[in-house]
Amino acid sequence: MRFYTLDTVFTFGRHQGQTVAEVLAENPGYLNFCLQVLDHFALQRADVEAWQQQFPKLREQMTGAAWQKLDEKERQLQAELAREQEAEDDYDSYDSGDYYSRDDADRDTFDALTDGQYGDYDDFNGDFDSLRDAMGY
């Protein structure tokens, strides 16, 4: 889904190549149509409300169904943003060590490389360069 602004150029339909502002001046009912029919087409309520001052015909052309669809798409966007934020928070939690920490991963790598032959991980303070030196690499 894409939120259109006054400067957005239509890449589809009979107004292809025109900006939203041009379409509003010429045929504001087209936005009403796009809102209701096209899943990828969205406008923000605040923008449409502001545009009604600049383009009075828009007020006449916006139907109740178009306003409902506009609100539905904004809710959908908010839900998507919330899911993205949640995923980002989960990723940040992973990075901060809530799951499998970097230290645990290094410890496992150390154990796999040395098989106990060179002491334990803490003897090298997590310094893999020292480990490589001890192993002759």
Type of residue at 66: A
pLDDT tens digit sequence for 44-100: 999 999 999 999 999 999 999 999 999 999 999 889 889 988 888 776 665 555 555
Same domain, 14 and 80: yes
Number of domains in the chain: 2
Predicted pLDDT at 26: 94
The confidence score (pLDDT) of residue 126 equals 62
Q: Are 70 and 43 in contact (CB under 8 A)?
A: yes
And the tokens for 62? 């916006």
Measure the CA angle with vertex 129, ends 123 and 130; round to 5°: 35
pLDDT at 123: 72
Distance CA 110, CA 121 (A): 6
- Contact present, 43 and 31 (Cβ < 8 Å): yes
| The pair of three-digit structure tokens given for residue 101, joined into one six-digit string | 């920490």
Range of the domain at 49: 2-95
The residues with which 42 forms a beta bridge, in sequence order, are 3
Question: Does 108 lie in the same domain as 52?
Answer: no
pLDDT on residue 50: 94
